[in-house]
């Protein structure tokens, strides 16, 4: 009887992360940059974009827009910190080829436009366009990520589900 009174019931929470891009889904381990592939920043996936439109993958608040416009940080309503990092070595472009639509402190919903980027320009500058989507506070909050079982995704489709404490 006392067992039932004192036994805590842990409710598993989860949050769906939707694709911010249309393109080919790639496991994070296959990103050609050890910071991402070895999950030093956190866990997630990557997308090789087919078009240069990035939208919000969650409902939340924009907490960081990098001055070089190549990356955006969003805190979801459930407290997940999500980094959207367009391409690799794109910081070197100092914002050229990117057009940002949002600002820090702004509230966003799934599918809200965040920025556009010129894929042709990035390729002409010899930049990799693969885009990691990383939960940076993964080890603090997330118990498990359940990935979708597909190779291609469209903006707004389910990308993965985070189950967390």
Number of structural domains (the chain) is: 1
Q: Which two tokens stand for residue 25?
A: 């889904």
Let me know if residue 6 belongs to a domain: no
- DSSP, res 93: G
Q: For position 164, what pLDDT does the model report?
A: 75
Let me know if residue 8 belongs to a domain: no
d(CA 29, CA 140) in angstroms, rounded, equals 20
Let me know if residue 64 belongs to a domain: yes
d(CA 29, CA 147) in angstroms, rounded, equals 13
Q: Are 71 and 84 in contact (CB under 8 A)?
A: yes
For the entire predicted model, the pTM comes to 0.90
Q: Which domain holds residue 101?
A: 13-164
Q: Is 70 a catalytic residue?
A: no
Q: For position 148, what pLDDT does the model report?
A: 82
Q: What is the pLDDT along the chain (165 residues), one digit of tens a residue?
A: 444 444 445 565 889 999 999 999 999 999 999 999 999 999 999 999 999 999 999 999 999 999 999 999 999 999 999 999 999 999 999 999 999 999 999 999 999 999 999 999 999 999 999 999 999 998 887 888 888 888 999 999 998 888 876
Which of 67, 70, 85, 147 is flagged as catalytic? 85
Let me know if residue 130 belongs to a domain: yes
Looking at the chain, how many residues does it have?
165
Let me know if residue 18 belongs to a domain: yes
CATH code of the domain in which 54 resides: 2.70.70.10
Let me know if residue 149 belongs to a domain: yes
Let me know if residue 117 belongs to a domain: yes
DSSP string over 5-73: HH---PPPEEEEEE-SS-EEEEEGGGSSSHHHHTTSS-EEEEEEESSSEEE-SSSEEEEEE-TTSSEEE
Let me know if residue 5 belongs to a domain: no
């Amino acid at each position: 009887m006392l067992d039932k009174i004192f036994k805590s019931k842990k409710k598993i929470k989860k949050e769906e992360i939707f694709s911010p891009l249309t393109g080919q889904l790639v496991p994070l381990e296959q990103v050609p940059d050890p910071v991402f592939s070895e999950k030093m920043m956190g866990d997630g996936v990557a997308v090789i974009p087919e078009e240069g439109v990035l939208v919000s993958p969650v409902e939340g608040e924009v907490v960081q827009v990098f001055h070089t416009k190549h990356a955006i940080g969003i805190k979801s309503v459930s407290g997940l910190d999500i980094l959207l990092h367009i391409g690799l070595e794109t910081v070197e472009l100092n914002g050229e080829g990117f057009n940002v639509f949002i600002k820090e402190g702004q509230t966003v919903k799934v599918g809200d436009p965040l920025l556009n980027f010129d894929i042709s320009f990035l390729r002409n500058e010899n930049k990799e366009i693969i885009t990691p989507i990383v939960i940076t506070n993964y080890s603090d909050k997330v118990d498990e990520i359940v990935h979708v079982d597909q190779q291609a995704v469209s903006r707004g489709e389910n990308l993965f589900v985070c189950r967390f404490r």
